[in-house]
A = this chain, B = another copy of it.
Amino acid sequence: MTQVFNPPVRTLMGPGPADVNPRILSALARPTIGHLDPEFVRMMDEVKRMLQSAFQTKNALTLPISAPGSAGMEACFVNLLEAGDKAIVCQNGVFGGRMKENVERCGATAIMVEDDWGKPVDPNKLEAALQANPDAKVVAFVHAETSTGVQSDAETLCRLAAAHDCLTIVDCVTSVGGTEVAIDRWGADAVYSGTQKCLSCVPGISPVSFSDKAVAAINARSTKVQSWFLDMGLVMGYWGENTKRAYHHTAPVNTLYSLHEALLILEEEGLENAWARHREHHTALVAGLEAMGLSMVVDADCRLPQLNVVSVPAGVDEAAVRATLLADYNLEIGAGLGPLAGKVWRIGLMGFACNKTNVLFCLGSLEQVLREQGADIVAGSAQGAARAAYAG
Protein backbone atom coordinates (compact mmCIF):
# COMPACT_ATOMS: atom_id res chain seq x y z
CA MET A 1 0.00 0.00 0.00
CA THR A 2 1.27 3.47 -0.85
CA GLN A 3 2.00 5.80 2.04
CA VAL A 4 0.85 9.38 2.57
CA PHE A 5 3.40 11.75 1.06
CA ASN A 6 4.84 14.08 3.66
CA PRO A 7 7.34 16.32 1.92
CA PRO A 8 10.47 17.42 3.75
CA VAL A 9 10.49 21.05 4.86
CA ARG A 10 13.03 22.71 2.59
CA THR A 11 14.37 26.23 2.28
CA LEU A 12 13.90 26.98 -1.42
CA MET A 13 16.64 29.27 -2.68
CA GLY A 14 16.92 27.96 -6.21
CA PRO A 15 15.44 29.38 -9.42
CA GLY A 16 11.89 28.59 -8.24
CA PRO A 17 9.62 27.40 -6.84
CA ALA A 18 10.70 29.62 -3.97
CA ASP A 19 9.56 29.35 -0.37
CA VAL A 20 5.81 29.79 -0.28
CA ASN A 21 4.40 32.15 2.30
CA PRO A 22 2.43 30.09 4.90
CA ARG A 23 -0.52 32.44 4.42
CA ILE A 24 -0.58 31.32 0.80
CA LEU A 25 -0.45 27.62 1.68
CA SER A 26 -3.38 28.18 4.02
CA ALA A 27 -5.31 29.97 1.30
CA LEU A 28 -4.71 27.02 -0.99
CA ALA A 29 -6.50 24.67 1.40
CA ARG A 30 -9.68 26.72 1.69
CA PRO A 31 -12.86 24.92 0.66
CA THR A 32 -13.25 24.46 -3.08
CA ILE A 33 -16.22 26.19 -4.70
CA GLY A 34 -17.49 26.08 -8.26
CA HIS A 35 -15.65 27.88 -11.04
CA LEU A 36 -18.91 29.66 -11.96
CA ASP A 37 -19.94 30.44 -8.37
CA PRO A 38 -20.77 34.17 -7.98
CA GLU A 39 -18.35 34.37 -5.05
CA PHE A 40 -15.61 32.86 -7.19
CA VAL A 41 -16.33 35.29 -10.01
CA ARG A 42 -16.01 38.16 -7.55
CA MET A 43 -12.63 36.80 -6.45
CA MET A 44 -11.55 36.51 -10.09
CA ASP A 45 -12.27 40.20 -10.55
CA GLU A 46 -10.06 41.02 -7.59
CA VAL A 47 -7.27 38.83 -8.98
CA LYS A 48 -7.45 40.68 -12.29
CA ARG A 49 -7.34 44.06 -10.61
CA MET A 50 -4.41 43.14 -8.37
CA LEU A 51 -2.54 41.65 -11.34
CA GLN A 52 -2.97 44.93 -13.18
CA SER A 53 -1.32 46.66 -10.23
CA ALA A 54 1.55 44.17 -10.06
CA PHE A 55 2.15 44.55 -13.80
CA GLN A 56 1.55 48.35 -13.68
CA THR A 57 -0.93 48.20 -16.51
CA LYS A 58 -4.48 49.18 -17.36
CA ASN A 59 -4.74 46.33 -19.89
CA ALA A 60 -8.23 44.85 -19.64
CA LEU A 61 -6.93 41.50 -20.87
CA THR A 62 -4.89 40.73 -17.75
CA LEU A 63 -5.53 37.35 -16.13
CA PRO A 64 -3.87 34.11 -15.06
CA ILE A 65 -3.61 31.30 -17.60
CA SER A 66 -4.59 28.00 -15.95
CA ALA A 67 -1.20 26.36 -16.50
CA PRO A 68 2.47 27.06 -15.72
CA GLY A 69 4.65 29.82 -17.18
CA SER A 70 5.58 27.69 -20.19
CA ALA A 71 1.93 27.71 -21.16
CA GLY A 72 1.77 31.46 -20.54
CA MET A 73 4.65 31.81 -22.98
CA GLU A 74 2.85 29.63 -25.50
CA ALA A 75 -0.36 31.63 -25.05
CA CYS A 76 1.47 34.79 -26.12
CA PHE A 77 3.03 33.21 -29.21
CA VAL A 78 0.06 31.24 -30.50
CA ASN A 79 -2.29 34.19 -30.16
CA LEU A 80 -0.02 36.78 -31.80
CA LEU A 81 1.58 34.67 -34.53
CA GLU A 82 0.13 32.93 -37.56
CA ALA A 83 1.82 30.62 -40.04
CA GLY A 84 4.11 32.63 -42.32
CA ASP A 85 4.72 35.42 -39.83
CA LYS A 86 8.19 36.48 -38.81
CA ALA A 87 9.35 37.08 -35.24
CA ILE A 88 12.64 38.43 -33.93
CA VAL A 89 13.71 36.50 -30.85
CA CYS A 90 16.44 37.85 -28.60
CA GLN A 91 18.26 35.01 -26.91
CA ASN A 92 20.62 35.33 -23.98
CA GLY A 93 19.70 32.17 -22.07
CA VAL A 94 17.47 29.09 -21.96
CA PHE A 95 14.18 30.84 -22.36
CA GLY A 96 15.03 32.65 -25.59
CA GLY A 97 15.65 29.21 -27.07
CA ARG A 98 12.25 28.09 -25.92
CA MET A 99 10.73 31.17 -27.56
CA LYS A 100 12.31 30.09 -30.86
CA GLU A 101 10.63 26.68 -30.51
CA ASN A 102 7.32 28.42 -29.92
CA VAL A 103 7.69 30.62 -32.98
CA GLU A 104 8.54 27.70 -35.22
CA ARG A 105 5.71 25.53 -33.94
CA CYS A 106 3.34 28.32 -35.00
CA GLY A 107 4.63 27.89 -38.55
CA ALA A 108 6.36 31.26 -38.28
CA THR A 109 10.01 32.16 -38.85
CA ALA A 110 12.32 33.09 -35.99
CA ILE A 111 15.10 35.60 -36.59
CA MET A 112 17.54 35.11 -33.74
CA VAL A 113 19.43 37.93 -32.03
CA GLU A 114 22.06 36.24 -29.91
CA ASP A 115 23.88 37.55 -26.86
CA ASP A 116 26.20 35.66 -24.55
CA TRP A 117 24.65 33.84 -21.64
CA GLY A 118 25.12 36.13 -18.64
CA LYS A 119 24.80 39.34 -20.68
CA PRO A 120 21.68 41.41 -21.27
CA VAL A 121 20.06 41.71 -24.68
CA ASP A 122 21.99 44.26 -26.74
CA PRO A 123 19.59 46.94 -28.09
CA ASN A 124 21.96 47.67 -30.98
CA LYS A 125 21.70 44.11 -32.22
CA LEU A 126 17.92 44.29 -31.98
CA GLU A 127 17.88 47.56 -33.92
CA ALA A 128 20.01 45.97 -36.64
CA ALA A 129 17.67 42.97 -36.82
CA LEU A 130 14.64 45.25 -37.01
CA GLN A 131 16.19 47.17 -39.89
CA ALA A 132 17.12 43.97 -41.70
CA ASN A 133 13.63 42.50 -41.20
CA PRO A 134 11.05 45.19 -41.90
CA ASP A 135 8.42 42.47 -42.28
CA ALA A 136 8.82 41.21 -38.70
CA LYS A 137 5.57 41.21 -36.74
CA VAL A 138 6.80 40.40 -33.26
CA VAL A 139 9.87 40.99 -31.10
CA ALA A 140 10.27 38.60 -28.17
CA PHE A 141 12.72 38.75 -25.32
CA VAL A 142 13.16 37.76 -21.70
CA HIS A 143 13.11 40.55 -19.13
CA ALA A 144 14.62 38.48 -16.32
CA GLU A 145 16.56 35.43 -17.55
CA THR A 146 16.12 32.77 -14.88
CA SER A 147 18.90 30.69 -16.42
CA THR A 148 21.56 33.40 -16.08
CA GLY A 149 20.35 35.97 -13.54
CA VAL A 150 20.42 38.84 -16.03
CA GLN A 151 17.89 41.63 -16.42
CA SER A 152 17.54 43.24 -19.84
CA ASP A 153 16.33 46.77 -20.46
CA ALA A 154 12.73 46.03 -21.32
CA GLU A 155 11.73 49.65 -21.83
CA THR A 156 14.41 50.30 -24.45
CA LEU A 157 13.74 47.03 -26.26
CA CYS A 158 9.98 47.62 -26.34
CA ARG A 159 10.44 51.16 -27.68
CA LEU A 160 12.74 49.97 -30.45
CA ALA A 161 10.22 47.31 -31.44
CA ALA A 162 7.33 49.76 -31.40
CA ALA A 163 9.28 52.21 -33.56
CA HIS A 164 9.40 49.45 -36.18
CA ASP A 165 5.71 48.59 -35.76
CA CYS A 166 6.43 45.31 -34.05
CA LEU A 167 4.45 43.81 -31.21
CA THR A 168 6.49 42.74 -28.19
CA ILE A 169 6.31 39.52 -26.19
CA VAL A 170 8.10 39.86 -22.86
CA ASP A 171 8.94 37.08 -20.39
CA CYS A 172 8.51 38.48 -16.87
CA VAL A 173 8.30 35.12 -15.09
CA THR A 174 11.06 35.87 -12.64
CA SER A 175 10.80 39.65 -12.48
CA VAL A 176 7.26 40.39 -11.33
CA GLY A 177 7.26 41.21 -7.62
CA GLY A 178 11.06 41.27 -7.46
CA THR A 179 12.07 44.05 -9.84
CA GLU A 180 9.97 46.58 -11.64
CA VAL A 181 7.59 45.44 -14.36
CA ALA A 182 5.86 48.40 -15.99
CA ILE A 183 3.87 47.15 -18.94
CA ASP A 184 2.20 50.43 -19.84
CA ARG A 185 5.30 52.60 -19.50
CA TRP A 186 7.35 50.09 -21.50
CA GLY A 187 4.62 49.75 -24.11
CA ALA A 188 4.90 45.94 -23.96
CA ASP A 189 2.16 44.10 -25.84
CA ALA A 190 2.09 40.57 -24.44
CA VAL A 191 3.63 39.72 -21.11
CA TYR A 192 3.60 36.41 -19.27
CA SER A 193 4.74 35.63 -15.77
CA GLY A 194 4.86 32.94 -13.13
CA THR A 195 3.56 32.57 -9.62
CA GLN A 196 6.30 30.48 -8.01
CA LYS A 197 9.05 33.10 -8.10
CA CYS A 198 8.78 36.53 -6.48
CA LEU A 199 5.05 36.18 -5.84
CA SER A 200 5.90 33.39 -3.32
CA CYS A 201 2.97 31.38 -4.57
CA VAL A 202 2.72 27.75 -5.65
CA PRO A 203 3.55 26.87 -9.25
CA GLY A 204 0.86 26.00 -11.78
CA ILE A 205 -0.63 29.19 -13.22
CA SER A 206 0.75 32.00 -15.34
CA PRO A 207 -0.42 35.60 -15.20
CA VAL A 208 -0.51 37.23 -18.64
CA SER A 209 -1.41 40.66 -19.96
CA PHE A 210 -2.19 41.81 -23.50
CA SER A 211 -2.26 45.41 -24.68
CA ASP A 212 -5.08 46.84 -26.76
CA LYS A 213 -2.74 46.66 -29.75
CA ALA A 214 -2.18 42.98 -29.09
CA VAL A 215 -5.92 42.39 -28.75
CA ALA A 216 -6.48 44.17 -32.07
CA ALA A 217 -3.87 41.92 -33.67
CA ILE A 218 -5.59 38.84 -32.26
CA ASN A 219 -8.94 40.05 -33.57
CA ALA A 220 -7.41 40.67 -37.00
CA ARG A 221 -6.10 37.11 -37.37
CA SER A 222 -7.06 35.28 -40.54
CA THR A 223 -6.78 31.85 -38.93
CA LYS A 224 -7.94 30.41 -35.63
CA VAL A 225 -5.45 30.22 -32.77
CA GLN A 226 -3.92 26.74 -33.04
CA SER A 227 -4.50 26.01 -29.35
CA TRP A 228 -8.09 25.76 -28.22
CA PHE A 229 -7.08 25.79 -24.55
CA LEU A 230 -4.94 28.93 -24.93
CA ASP A 231 -7.16 30.85 -27.38
CA MET A 232 -7.45 34.22 -25.62
CA GLY A 233 -10.73 34.97 -27.37
CA LEU A 234 -12.26 31.95 -25.67
CA VAL A 235 -10.44 32.44 -22.36
CA MET A 236 -11.88 35.97 -22.23
CA GLY A 237 -15.39 34.57 -22.44
CA TYR A 238 -14.74 33.14 -18.99
CA TRP A 239 -12.51 35.84 -17.49
CA GLY A 240 -14.02 38.86 -19.26
CA GLU A 241 -16.13 41.77 -18.10
CA ASN A 242 -19.42 40.25 -19.18
CA THR A 243 -21.69 39.48 -16.27
CA LYS A 244 -22.48 36.00 -17.58
CA ARG A 245 -19.25 34.01 -17.63
CA ALA A 246 -19.10 31.40 -20.37
CA TYR A 247 -17.69 28.05 -19.37
CA HIS A 248 -14.41 27.48 -21.18
CA HIS A 249 -12.42 25.18 -18.93
CA THR A 250 -12.57 24.38 -15.23
CA ALA A 251 -10.37 26.94 -13.52
CA PRO A 252 -7.82 25.73 -10.95
CA VAL A 253 -9.97 27.08 -8.15
CA ASN A 254 -7.69 26.51 -5.16
CA THR A 255 -4.55 27.63 -6.95
CA LEU A 256 -6.38 30.85 -7.76
CA TYR A 257 -7.17 31.30 -4.04
CA SER A 258 -3.43 31.13 -3.47
CA LEU A 259 -2.69 33.69 -6.19
CA HIS A 260 -5.30 35.99 -4.68
CA GLU A 261 -3.54 35.75 -1.31
CA ALA A 262 -0.11 36.24 -2.92
CA LEU A 263 -1.26 39.38 -4.70
CA LEU A 264 -2.89 40.64 -1.53
CA ILE A 265 0.42 40.22 0.32
CA LEU A 266 2.20 42.15 -2.44
CA GLU A 267 -0.46 44.87 -2.25
CA GLU A 268 0.00 45.10 1.52
CA GLU A 269 3.78 45.43 1.19
CA GLY A 270 3.68 47.76 -1.79
CA LEU A 271 5.56 47.23 -5.06
CA GLU A 272 8.38 49.67 -4.30
CA ASN A 273 8.92 48.16 -0.87
CA ALA A 274 9.08 44.67 -2.35
CA TRP A 275 11.67 45.74 -4.92
CA ALA A 276 13.72 47.51 -2.22
CA ARG A 277 13.61 44.40 -0.04
CA HIS A 278 14.95 42.29 -2.90
CA ARG A 279 17.79 44.78 -3.45
CA GLU A 280 18.65 44.88 0.26
CA HIS A 281 18.99 41.14 0.75
CA HIS A 282 20.70 40.70 -2.61
CA THR A 283 23.32 43.24 -1.54
CA ALA A 284 23.96 41.38 1.69
CA LEU A 285 24.14 38.00 -0.04
CA VAL A 286 26.59 39.26 -2.63
CA ALA A 287 28.73 40.85 0.11
CA GLY A 288 28.88 37.49 1.84
CA LEU A 289 29.61 35.48 -1.30
CA GLU A 290 32.36 37.87 -2.37
CA ALA A 291 33.87 37.94 1.12
CA MET A 292 34.11 34.15 0.83
CA GLY A 293 36.07 34.69 -2.37
CA LEU A 294 33.36 33.63 -4.77
CA SER A 295 32.64 35.73 -7.83
CA MET A 296 29.37 36.82 -9.36
CA VAL A 297 28.83 35.91 -13.01
CA VAL A 298 26.66 38.86 -14.02
CA ASP A 299 27.80 42.49 -14.10
CA ALA A 300 26.41 44.51 -11.20
CA ASP A 301 24.39 46.87 -13.41
CA CYS A 302 22.19 44.13 -14.86
CA ARG A 303 22.09 41.60 -12.03
CA LEU A 304 18.73 40.29 -10.93
CA PRO A 305 18.56 40.71 -7.14
CA GLN A 306 16.17 37.77 -6.99
CA LEU A 307 18.49 35.34 -8.81
CA ASN A 308 22.16 35.39 -7.95
CA VAL A 309 24.47 33.46 -10.24
CA VAL A 310 27.81 32.68 -8.67
CA SER A 311 30.82 30.82 -10.07
CA VAL A 312 31.72 27.40 -8.70
CA PRO A 313 35.29 27.56 -7.33
CA ALA A 314 37.90 25.52 -9.18
CA GLY A 315 38.10 21.87 -8.21
CA VAL A 316 34.71 21.78 -6.47
CA ASP A 317 32.10 19.15 -7.41
CA GLU A 318 29.15 21.49 -7.75
CA ALA A 319 26.53 18.73 -7.76
CA ALA A 320 27.95 17.27 -4.55
CA VAL A 321 27.68 20.66 -2.87
CA ARG A 322 24.02 20.97 -3.86
CA ALA A 323 23.30 17.41 -2.79
CA THR A 324 24.88 17.99 0.63
CA LEU A 325 23.03 21.27 1.11
CA LEU A 326 19.78 19.49 0.29
CA ALA A 327 20.42 16.38 2.39
CA ASP A 328 21.93 17.97 5.49
CA TYR A 329 20.55 21.51 5.47
CA ASN A 330 17.26 20.98 3.59
CA LEU A 331 18.46 23.91 1.49
CA GLU A 332 17.84 23.95 -2.25
CA ILE A 333 19.99 26.09 -4.52
CA GLY A 334 19.97 25.78 -8.31
CA ALA A 335 22.39 24.33 -10.84
CA GLY A 336 23.57 26.05 -14.01
CA LEU A 337 21.88 25.34 -17.31
CA GLY A 338 23.20 25.06 -20.87
CA PRO A 339 26.71 26.50 -21.27
CA LEU A 340 26.67 27.41 -17.56
CA ALA A 341 25.96 23.82 -16.41
CA GLY A 342 28.56 22.68 -13.90
CA LYS A 343 30.08 26.16 -13.71
CA VAL A 344 27.64 28.15 -11.58
CA TRP A 345 25.06 27.98 -8.85
CA ARG A 346 21.86 29.94 -9.00
CA ILE A 347 20.83 31.29 -5.60
CA GLY A 348 17.31 32.63 -5.51
CA LEU A 349 16.07 35.36 -3.20
CA MET A 350 12.50 35.42 -4.32
CA GLY A 351 9.51 36.93 -2.57
CA PHE A 352 8.94 35.41 0.86
CA ALA A 353 12.29 33.57 0.59
CA CYS A 354 14.06 36.91 0.27
CA ASN A 355 14.84 37.58 3.93
CA LYS A 356 17.75 37.99 6.29
CA THR A 357 17.42 34.55 7.86
CA ASN A 358 17.72 32.86 4.49
CA VAL A 359 20.68 35.00 3.45
CA LEU A 360 22.63 34.21 6.64
CA PHE A 361 21.62 30.52 6.62
CA CYS A 362 22.65 30.12 2.99
CA LEU A 363 26.02 31.81 3.50
CA GLY A 364 26.81 29.82 6.61
CA SER A 365 25.76 26.50 5.07
CA LEU A 366 27.49 27.06 1.76
CA GLU A 367 30.70 28.10 3.48
CA GLN A 368 30.77 24.98 5.65
CA VAL A 369 30.09 22.62 2.76
CA LEU A 370 32.69 24.32 0.57
CA ARG A 371 35.27 23.97 3.37
CA GLU A 372 34.44 20.27 3.64
CA GLN A 373 35.00 20.01 -0.11
CA GLY A 374 38.45 21.55 0.30
CA ALA A 375 37.53 24.63 -1.72
CA ASP A 376 39.97 27.53 -1.71
CA ILE A 377 37.74 30.07 0.03
CA VAL A 378 38.17 32.73 2.68
CA ALA A 379 36.76 31.07 5.75
CA GLY A 380 34.85 32.83 8.50
CA SER A 381 34.02 36.05 6.74
CA ALA A 382 30.82 35.52 4.77
CA GLN A 383 28.17 36.05 7.43
CA GLY A 384 30.05 38.98 8.90
CA ALA A 385 30.22 40.71 5.55
CA ALA A 386 26.50 40.20 5.06
CA ARG A 387 25.72 41.53 8.52
CA ALA A 388 27.89 44.55 7.82
CA ALA A 389 25.99 45.13 4.59
CA TYR A 390 22.70 45.02 6.49
CA ALA A 391 24.05 47.48 9.01
CA GLY A 392 24.74 49.77 6.06
Report the bound CA distance from A31 to B32 in whole Å: 19
Q: Decide: B253 and A17 in contact? CB cutoff 8 A.
A: yes
Report the bound CA distance from A98 to B1 in whole Å: 38
Q: Decide: B31 and A28 in contact? CB cutoff 8 A.
A: no
Known contacts A7-B30, A228-B105; is-contact A249 B68 (Cβ 8 Å):
yes
Contact of A281 with B by CB under 8 A: no
Within 8 A of B (CB), among A28-64: 28-35, 37-40, 43, 46, 49-50
A27 CB to nearest chain B CB (Å):
7
Within 8 A of B (CB), among A73-125: 73-74, 98, 101-102, 104-106
The majority secondary structure among interface residues of chain A is loop
Q: Decide: B17 and A34 in contact? CB cutoff 8 A.
A: yes
Q: Decide: A248 and B39 in contact? CB cutoff 8 A.
A: no
Report the bound CA distance from A229 to B226 in whole Å: 13
Known contacts A2-B264, A252-B255; is-contact A33 B50 (Cβ 8 Å):
no
A173 CB to nearest chain B CB (Å):
9
Q: Decide: A227 and B105 in contact? CB cutoff 8 A.
A: yes
9 contacts between A and B (CB under 8 A): A4-B264, A5-B30, A9-B31, A19-B32, A32-B196, A66-B71, A70-B248, A71-B249, A202-B254
Q: Which residues of A contact B (CB under 8 A)?
A: 1-2, 4-10, 12, 14, 16-17, 19-20, 25-35, 37-40, 43, 46, 49-50, 66-71, 73-74, 98, 101-102, 104-106, 194, 196, 202-204, 224-229, 247-255, 257, 260-261, 263-264, 267-268, 326, 332, 337
New A-B pairs, 13, CB < 8 Å, besides A7-B43, A32-B202, A74-B229: A4-B27, A4-B261, A12-B33, A17-B33, A37-B332, A38-B326, A66-B204, A69-B250, A70-B228, A98-B228, A101-B228, A196-B250, A204-B255
